[in-house]
Chain A
Amino acid sequence: MEIIFLLMGISMFMASCGLLAFLWANSNGQFDDLESPAQQVLLDDSQSEL
């Protein structure tokens, strides 16, 4: 049964990775704008004349 301690450790570690990823994403503004980036990929970066 001692294996459960190891499993708990692994699960906590994995969940912490998830949390850290969330905190990192939030601090980098990943959740600030949920609409525009999805559309932005459809356009080229070309500096075309208007």
Chain B
Amino acid sequence: MELDHFYELVPSKDYALHAAAIQRADYSLFDTEAFQKGFAEESKEETKQIHFYLNDMSCYACVWVCEQVTKKIDARCSLSINMATGEASLLLPKGAKPLSEFVKTYESLGYGVTPNRSSRSGKGSELNRIGVAFFCLMNVMMLAFPEYLDSQSLAPSFRQVFRALSAVLAGIAIFYSGWPFLKNAVMSLKQGKVHLDFPIGLALLVGFGYSLMNALQGAAHVYFDSMTAVVALVLSGRFVQTRALEHILREQAKFLEGDAHFVRLETAAGPKMVPLTSVRMFEKISVLPGEIIPLKGRLASLGADISYGLLRGESVSEGVNQGELISAGAMNGSRPLTLEALEDGTQSFLLHLQSASRALYQEKGRFLSLSEKMARFFVVLVLGAAFGVGLWFLPSNPEEGFRRFAAVLLVACPCIFGFGAPLVIARAFQLGLKRGIVFRSQNSLERLSLAKFFYFDKTGTLTQDEGRVKAATWHSENLLGLGLDKTEILPLLRELPLVSRHHVAQGLGSWALDGVPSIGKFPIRNVKEIFGQGLSFEWGTSALRIGRVGFCFGSESPGAANADSYVTIDGKEILRFQLDESLRPEADECLRQLVEGGRKPLVLSGDKKERVRALGQALGISDTHLFSELSPSDKLFSIAHKEQSVMVGNGINDALASSGAAIGIALANASDAMKEASDISFQREGLSPLLTAIALSAEARKVMKRCFALALAFNSIAMSLALTGLVTPVMAAVLMPFSSITVFLSSQRFQLKGIV
């Protein structure tokens, strides 16, 4: 079938062409050995297998197009794509066209290529374990029937055969399928930590041993079916949760993967954007104020101030002189700097940042999650009861003591933790993802609804994205007086985004972009950026300033409107403009709902006091909740009640506060550093996902608590029966699946709730 015909079958005809073509500066990167490490592997017969994600696959036509163009580039190569996950793998036989050709083609069609460096193993054996467990479970249940019916009227030989078969099947389930629990139980014992797998592992071993003993003696009380059911159910619950988490991680990998980092390489023809991984030792790169130093190097420009705040949590900026060393991960302060690389880009810090930031989050998870708290409570309760009753009977009747010890461990069903909580969390993650919310940890999901203090950044978070220049007027008299023409100034403004990420520079740059040719290099010196004020630089013999009244003219001139910004040369106005910083349309409603929910919105901004106050008035936030003129570290220190605080932001200057707050939230327009430092990131524009995320979190807590209450009720009844020695195999067998099913149904109620 031709592609044209394919499109006739689908209602909208722009499926494959919806994504904008992507162009990278340099595709040769993909052919280097160093870059391919981790996602290219040698498979059989001198064929290389390349694993990557193809982004923005929307229907099978996309898959078809990519597979066809692959064949067209080189008929010996083949591409296979998993449409559900976007995972693709390309088979390149020796002597085939280089990888870069393929990547270039895919990206020119609009399908971004992200190397897939995650490991590709484990899933298969997990499924095998589950399959074996369910096979054993079905057969054991069938074989267990005689136990529940009138076991006495059965001929002993029948009973023995049934029990022997059950024992073999349960043994396979416990020691093959249940191996992960046993392993973790031993680990938790070694490390002295309470781990949910410890009581599960212990219960499996004790239950199996006890049942085997009874079966050999011909006594009642064999639990082979319950043991097998626990293994099968808990394994399934974990499998579902792991898959959901993998899905989340994959979504993140798409925007966090290494090659997304580009740097400005200094070349003879001026700065050129290249992937970080292609930078070689002793090459020079330039770093703008507010950017992170991507690799270890020596300062080649005259002087700089940098801060290690993002790395160390302390935020004093230090001066660095020419020739001194700068570590990767530092943040550049107020001046652009040039760095001579002392390591290759492939060894760069930023590439390791992803794994490092994951570790950081694990460290951050010092708060116990709700399910951990419940699990710990449960483990202590069950072990306490089991050992208590065992020790009580030990002096008088050791055999009875062991019997009751085993019975308590057995009837205590850990389904809520092994099965219920993972399902709830996986479900919430999925619902979030559908609504453009990526929870990076279970903790952030569970804790978000508890937070009382919501700190918002101003620019780009509460207000619309980067400032847009409006109402710009040239001061023609002053221009004339300086002997200049605006056609000389415009090219300068156009190049501003190259030297500064300040929103004034970005705004002016895109404003001047129209119809002005690039001058290729940048004839200005000594660019200084002052947080929250503006920037200054030298051009020839003149000093230029861009920013607000106070910054440009030295003092607040009374007549000037506060909203205006200026470009001045030697203190003389040449351009007056306004940065359009309108509020996000949903900001008002969002804050109102936060307040209604008993939460406190606060504003942390680097901007001027008056402007923050004006914003506060528009949003109805009292002055005591507004903090202005803050540096990134001030933002961190302004956050009180850290355990109940949420930092919502988008800029690199929010990153520090975000990692300091209990939960950091990065909006869709956030910088990479902010996304790295956040626990939740939005993929949908604006603030509205925030309310959805809170609702999801509240709902998840509610459902988990309900599951826990149910499980606790069941377990209390079952355990008290077991403690008194009344529990029979029939009761255990009825209670166990009944409680599992209730917990399962309860956890699935989640989807029925109307979450916005």
Smallest CB separation, A16 vs chain B (Å):
8
Does B625 interact with chain A (Cβ within 8 Å)?
no
Q: Using Cβ atoms and an 8 Å threshold, which residues of chain A touch B165?
A: 8, 12
B72 touches A4 (CB 8 A): no
Question: In the complex, A35 Cα to B87 Cα: how many Å?
Answer: 12
- Given known A-B contacts A23-B128, A26-B131, A44-B1, A50 and B68 have beta carbons under 8 A apart: yes
Q: B81 within 8 Å of A by Cβ?
A: yes
Report if B268 contacts A (CB, 8 A): no
**Binary interface encoding of chain A residues 15-36 relative to chain B, with 1 for a CB under 8 A from any of its CBs, else 0:** 1101100110011000111111
Proximity string of chain B (142-179) to chain A, C-beta cutoff 8 Å, 1 when within and 0 when not: 11000000000001001001000100000000000000
Does B139 reach chain A (CB closer than 8 Å)?
yes
Cβ of B158 and Cβ of A36 under 8 Å apart?
no
Tell me if B84 counts as interface (CB < 8 A to partner A). yes
B3, A5: Cβ atoms closer than 8 Å: no
Partner of A15, one of B69, B71, B138: B138
Asked if residues B158 and A23 are in contact (CB atoms below 8 Å), the reply is no
Q: Contact check: which of A1, A16, A33, A42 meets B83 at CB < 8 Å?
A: A33
Known A-B contacts A35-B84, A39-B60; A18 and B135 likewise in contact (beta carbons under 8 Å): yes
User: A48: which of B3, B63, B138 is its contact (CB, 8 Å)?
Assistant: B3
Residues of A within 8 A of B6 (CB): 43
| A contact residues around B713 at 8 Å (CB) | none
Instruction: Name B's interface SS.
Output: helix
Interfacial chain B residues near A43, Cβ < 8 Å: 1, 6, 60, 64
- Tell me which residues across on chain A come within 8 A of B2, comparing CB atoms: 48
- Within 8 Å of chain A (Cβ to Cβ): is B124? yes
Chain A residues, CB < 8 A from B139 = 11-12, 15
Instruction: State whether A46 and B1 are in contact (beta carbons under 8 Å apart), knowing that A8-B165, A15-B135, A22-B131 are contacts in the complex.
Output: yes
How distant is A23 from chain B, measured CB to nearest CB, in Å? 6
Say yes or no: is B77 at the interface (Cβ < 8 Å to chain A). no
Residues of A within 8 A of B3 (CB): 48, 50
Is A50 touching B69 in the complex (CB atoms < 8 A)? yes
Measured between C-beta atoms, what is the minimum distance from B213 to chain A in Å?
24
The answer on a CB contact under 8 Å between B131 and A5 is no
Q: Which residues of A contact B127 (CB under 8 A)?
A: 26, 31
- Find B72's partner among A16, A18, A34, A50 (CB 8 Å cutoff): A50
Contacts of A35 in B (CB 8 A): 82-84
| B65 sits at the interface (CB 8 A) | yes
Q: Is B472 interfacial (CB 8 A cutoff)?
A: no
Given contact pairs A1-B155, A50-B3, A50-B68, A19 touches B84 in the complex (Cβ within 8 A): no
Report B16 CB to chain A, min CB distance, Å. Answer: 10
Report whether A36 and B131 are in contact in the complex, using a CB–CB cutoff of 8 Å. Answer: no
Which residues of chain A are within 8 angstroms of B158 by Cβ–Cβ distance? 1, 4
The residue on A at minimum CB distance from B126 is A26
Chain B, Cβ-Cβ closest to A27 = B124
Report B81-106 residues with CB < 8 Å from chain A CB.
Answer: 81-85
> Which one, A16, A34, A44, contacts B84 given CB within 8 A?
A34
Chain B residues near A23: list those with CB within 8 A: 128, 131-132
CA distance A25 to B269 in the complex (A): 58
- Are A48's CB and B135's CB within 8 A? no
Q: How far is the CB of A36 from chain B (nearest CB, A)?
A: 4
CB distance from B89 to the nearest CB of A (A): 10
- Knowing A11-B142, A18-B135 are in contact, say whether A26-B68 is a contact too (CB < 8 A): no
Instruction: Note all chain A residues with C-beta closer than 8 A to B82.
Output: 32-33, 35-36
The reply to whether B132 and A39 contact each other, CB–CB distance below 8 Å, is: no
Q: How far is A42 from B83 in the complex, measured between Cα atoms in Å? A: 15
A40 to B84, CA, bound (A): 13
Report the separation of the CA atoms of residues A1 and B158 in the bound assembly, to the nearest whole angstrom: 9
Q: A33 CA to B84 CA in the complex, in Å?
A: 7
Q: How far is the CB of B161 from chain A (nearest CB, A)?
A: 7
Q: Which residues of A contact B65 (CB under 8 A)?
A: 50
Q: Which residue of B lies closest to A32 (CB)?
A: B82
CA distance A46 to B2 in the complex (A): 8
A1 to B153, CA, bound (A): 13
Could you tell me if A36 and B124 are in contact, using CB atoms closer than 8 angstroms? no
In the assembled complex, the Cα of A38 lies from the Cα of B314 at a distance in Å of 55
CB distance from A46 to the nearest CB of B (A): 7
- Residues on B with C-beta less than 8 A from A18 are 135
List the B side residues contacting A47 at CB < 8 Å.
Answer: 68, 71
- Contact in complex: B155, A36 (CB < 8 Å): no
Q: Complex: how many Å from CA A20 to CA B2? A: 40
Shortest A50–chain B CB gap in Å is 6
Closest to A18 in B: B135
The distance in angstroms between the C-alpha atoms of A33 and B63, with both chains bound, is 13
- Report the Cα distance A19→B155, complex, angstroms: 31
Q: Is the CB of B1 within 8 A of A36?
A: no
Contacts of B1 in A (CB 8 A): 43-44, 46, 48
Residues of A contacting B63 in the complex (Cβ-Cβ under 8 angstroms): 36, 39
Bound Cα distance A46, B142 (Å): 51
Report the separation of the CA atoms of residues A14 and B124 in the bound assembly, to the nearest whole angstrom: 23
**Which residue on A lies nearest to B169, using beta carbons?**
A12
Q: How far is the CB of A42 from chain B (nearest CB, A)?
A: 8
Please tell me if the beta carbons of B68 and A48 are within 8 angstroms of each other in the complex: yes
Q: In the bound complex, what is the Cα–Cα distance between A6 and B63 (angstroms)? A: 51
Tell me the nearest residue of chain A to B143, going by C-beta.
Answer: A8
B412 to chain A, nearest CB (A): 30
CA distance A40 to B139 in the complex (A): 37
User: How distant is the Cα of A43 from the Cα of B138 in the complex, in angstroms?
Assistant: 40
Shortest distance from the beta carbon of A33 to any chain B beta carbon, whole Å:
4
Q: What would be 6 A-B contacts, judged by CB atoms less than 8 Å apart? A: A1-B155, A22-B131, A23-B132, A26-B131, A31-B127, A33-B82
Given contacts A32-B123, A43-B64, A47-B68, list 17 more A-B pairs with CB under 8 A. A8-B161, A15-B135, A18-B135, A19-B135, A22-B135, A26-B127, A26-B128, A31-B127, A33-B83, A33-B84, A36-B60, A36-B63, A40-B60, A42-B60, A43-B6, A47-B71, A48-B68
A residues whose Cβ falls under 8 Å from a Cβ of B: 1, 4-5, 8, 11-12, 15-16, 18-19, 22-23, 26-27, 31-36, 39-40, 42-44, 46-48, 50
Interface pairs A-B: 10 shortest CB-CB: A39-B60, A33-B82, A19-B135, A35-B84, A36-B83, A22-B131, A35-B83, A44-B1, A26-B127, A48-B2
